[in-house]
Amino acid sequence: MISGLGGQDGSYLAELLLAKGHRVVGAVRDVQRTLRTLPGDLASHVELVEWDLTDQSRMFHALERYGPSDFYNLAALSSGVGMFDDPVKMGDLNGLAVARTLDAVIRVNPRIRFLQASSSEMFGRATRSPQSEQTGFRPRSPYGAAKVFAHTMVQNRRERDGLFACSAILFNHESPRRGEGFVTRKVSQGAARIKLGLSRELQIGSLDARRDWGYAPDFVRAMWLMLEQQSADDYVLATGVTRTVRQLCDAAFAAVDLDYREFVRERPEDLRPVEAIPLAGDASRARARLGWHPEVGFEEWVQLMVASDLRILGEQVGARSSSHVRND
């Protein structure tokens, strides 16, 4: 069972588990919307059940009905645009909801293996780099604070109740399925729009901001490996290499044979102080115990994102053109 199956990570994880012969149930907020938006033919291969992060009775019902052996908790409010807008809602859906889910798992079947999608945002204003599983948390957003609470609850249930529960401490991971509110998708979409003549420039925040970016399918493979182990533990999942937004723009525009310097403009109102100590993950535990390492490199996944946006935008332009011809 995957909560949040309709998101980037959930859809890739579902495809991975289906390829390995598993029955996959998606626990989602809106079944019909998820069916309409799932990529490819994924909707015809998974089962969906309504899942309300605030309604524990519905959690009990879904768990009892489907009896999963593994539960991947990926449902959460996004860390992108808007993560400061409603701290109370953020705390409820990204923090307390995880406590509800863990409690439901234990009461329905404590043998269920549980994985929580934690976040590098928990490190916040880090005092050292790279960050590992032993690094202290200093969140600087409601999103990060809620994720710390959830992460701690996973550890508590593992140590106190013996639940097979673990947290994947996820650094940034991208793909063509990334939401449009994230900087990687803004850049890939911006490059594609300019190449197709739909825009003249791309306005963005600081080009010097640094991130540890990886490829989403690599990260969900690590999540699967975590639940295949003999014992549960927490793992940092990251590439260990930081790159700037400038490098991201350079790679994205190069993928369409353009020079980003001619089209990308920093937007003063979006500029933020560059972190003195960047968030960069130390995934040595995952390498040693899971045998995991990222397989798809930076330039490759950037090119995949740009190619996908070129296709999507090209189809939209073609559809509008066809509609205009018919109307004429």
- What digits encode the pLDDT tens for the residues 197-253? 999 999 998 999 999 999 999 999 999 999 999 999 999 999 999 999 999 999 999
Q: Give a yes or no: residue 242 inside a domain.
A: no
pLDDT value for 78: 79
Q: Which of 72, 118, 120, 121 is catalytic?
A: 121
pLDDT value for 277: 85
pLDDT value for 324: 56
Specify the amino acid at residue 320.
Answer: R
Q: Give a yes or no: residue 123 inside a domain.
A: yes
- For the entire predicted model, the pTM comes to 0.94
What is the domain range of residue 75?
Answer: 2-175+216-237
Is 72 noted as a catalytic residue in this protein?
Answer: no
Positions of the chain with pLDDT under 50: none
- Each residue of 85-110: b (16+ CB within 10 Å) or e? eeeeebbbbbbbbbbbbbbbbbebee
By CB atoms closer than 10 A (0-12, 13-18, 19+), residue 58 is: middle
Is 119 noted as a catalytic residue in this protein?
Answer: yes
Q: Give a yes or no: residue 250 inside a domain.
A: no
pLDDT value for 80: 59
Is 3 noted as a catalytic residue in this protein?
Answer: no
Q: Which of 119, 120, 129, 308 is catalytic?
A: 119
Q: Give a yes or no: residue 294 inside a domain.
A: no
Q: Give a yes or no: residue 310 inside a domain.
A: no
Domain count across the chain: 1
CATH of the domain at 141: 3.40.50.720
Distance between start and end Cα atoms, the chain = 50
- Write the DSSP assignment of 61-89 as a string of letters: HHHHHH--SEEEE-----SSTTTTT-HHH
Q: Give a yes or no: residue 231 inside a domain.
A: yes
Q: Which of 72, 143, 215, 260 is catalytic?
A: 143
